[in-house]
Structure 1
């Protein structure tokens, strides 16, 4: 399912018109102090810089699922896995014993984790912790293996991808301190998981350390959390702006680690669009049903409009 089709299908998750909720939020908005606004502006600059990295999310040019025991890989018409950019004949890809190997063509100039490729080598997937990265086109192109619940694919990026070189502007609601909320982390028993569907319709259990509970406008809300970075939390949610002013399939948000008393700050000003907004070749996790909120979160990143090509 493409991102565009999925966005259309999930537009209903945000409910109907958000006019009343937006009016209420506007009435509650307090003037933000200059330091708060400057801090959010710095975060937005960093957000764009990450997207503009040569092999960031906006640089993806292909996601090729590996269906057969062997595929020839390259940009040429005879390749079973045909790349949008790169050598006409890159090499032979083989699946053996649950592993994936690549044998480069003699005239293909490739690197493996920065070192010139010499003979057949194994591709370690992204979930291994030490994924193999294959470079081509003098480093402008990069290829790696992704594993989604046992299903494997080649993900390909290129520094000259049109989605990267033509990246459009990112739009945000005005920075609003009322959307930086002191919430409460409610831990789950150790080892608890939650089923998470991704944009390719693959579902897998993900660690679910607890939930975040908060209040806004006199009502209580709850978001089931996934594991974040350095003890923090990763929130995947949709709200009543989804499919209207924000991306239909939801947004993402990271928090710092909860304090000892369970307090955790959830700053919706830093809610951002998933990678599949910018490319059709990402495997974005989608909000579980528990995380579709009856609340218009008028903060953070708005819907991205891809520039016409």
Structure 2
């Protein structure tokens, strides 16, 4: 009997070793270290989530958008009144006259309406710069609560309108996330693209633009290899637009965004999918979000990061 028990003990020990479970993994100190790492990582992720929310709900954040109006004529009267060619949902009934010619834009405020250009009060006709210029103009109204700007997408110009009192901002319901998990931090490698390489990127309006790509990020998950074609982000980031098996099934249907650090000299970097976030068009109908390129649709359920937004119910009619 003792010999039989001894054999069983040896067999169980061999099985535990084969499965990667050793006495070290049961060490209280190791468990405590892992728990501390989880706490620190969760705290760091929470800081990022709080910053993300603050930027979203800021007075000039994406939630403040109230309109996106295509500039189709040489002249458009702008205002909230019924006679306006570009009709705002908020603001003065008559705001002023927008004129355009060969990619140049001018604005003349309505008599008696207080308007600012980059926070400086204006009285007469002023030149407006678009986001294709180095320093885009911001035309303020409603005592600074509202703002107009010119954006260009795919060779088409639009007036974008914001207002601090936008319903999407004042009725914001908050962000939801999958539970933070360190195993959704994955090591990746970067493969640079050839000089001048571009990607065709469609936006939510159906326009397609060829955008420069610095290269491709590859990583492994559960024994499978995946690749994401990158766009240039900020000074120290790559910008990844991806869809996955959760798109439309827990996360935003059109995909999500992820900012990744630039690779080191050996092409190594780390992706943290806990910081995947929704594009602006998940919150407003007035954004022009770029969508995932064809190669960035992962056959993988990325159950990490930001979940689909639940907007507030529409206002009731009294």
| TM value normalised by structure 1 | 0.89
Q: Map of 1:192-207 to 2, 5 A cutoff?
A: 192-207=197-212
- 2: distance between equivalents of 1:237 and 1:125? 28
Corresponding residue to 2:276 among 261, 271, 287: 271
Q: Map of 1:188-267 to 2, 5 A cutoff?
A: 188-267=193-272
Corresponding residue to 2:106 among 101, 106, 117: 101
Q: Which residue of 2 aligns with 1:150?
A: 155
What's the offset of the Cα at 1:97?
2.3
- 2: distance between equivalents of 1:277 and 1:161? 16
Q: Which residue of 2 aligns with 1:43?
A: 48
Q: Which residue of 2 aligns with 1:173?
A: 178
- 2: distance between equivalents of 1:36 and 1:269? 10
Describe the SS at the equivalent of 1:191.
Answer: coil
Q: Which residue of 1 aligns with 2:301?
A: 296
Matched, 1:286 2:267: no
Q: Map of 1:10-21 to 2, 5 A cutoff?
A: none
- 2: distance between equivalents of 1:113 and 1:145? 13
Structure number with the bigger relative contact order (C-alpha 8 A, sep ≥ 6) is 1
Larger-Rg structure: 2
- 2: distance between equivalents of 1:50 and 1:275? 12
Describe the SS at the equivalent of 1:126.
Answer: coil
- 2: distance between equivalents of 1:53 and 1:280? 18
What's the offset of the Cα at 1:189?
1.2
- 2: distance between equivalents of 1:177 and 1:139? 43
What's the offset of the Cα at 1:191?
1.5
What's the offset of the Cα at 1:51?
0.9
Q: Map of 1:61-140 to 2, 5 A cutoff?
A: 61-140=66-145
- 2: distance between equivalents of 1:285 and 1:205? 11
What's the offset of the Cα at 1:126?
1.3
- Give the unaligned 5+ runs of structure 2: 1-33
4+ long deviations beyond 3 Å: none
Deviation per residue, 1:189-221 (Å, 9 max, x gap): 121110100001111111111010000000000
Matched, 1:308 2:313: yes
What's the offset of the Cα at 1:118?
2.9
- 1: distance between equivalents of 2:123 and 2:228? 49
Describe the SS at the equivalent of 1:88.
Answer: coil
- 2: distance between equivalents of 1:129 and 1:55? 19
Aligned length: 280
- 2: distance between equivalents of 1:109 and 1:253? 40
What's the offset of the Cα at 1:257?
1.6
Deviation per residue, 1:100-142 (Å, 9 max, x gap): 2111112121000010113111221112231000000000001
- 1: distance between equivalents of 2:276 and 2:118? 32
Describe the SS at the equivalent of 2:205.
Answer: coil
- RMSD (Å) for aligned C-alpha atoms: 1.1
Describe the SS at the equivalent of 2:270.
Answer: strand
Q: Which residue of 2 aligns with 1:24?
A: none
| TM value normalised by structure 2 | 0.86
- 2: distance between equivalents of 1:286 and 1:64? 21
Q: Which residue of 1 aligns with 2:19?
A: none
Describe the SS at the equivalent of 1:128.
Answer: coil
- Give the unaligned 5+ runs of structure 1: 1-29
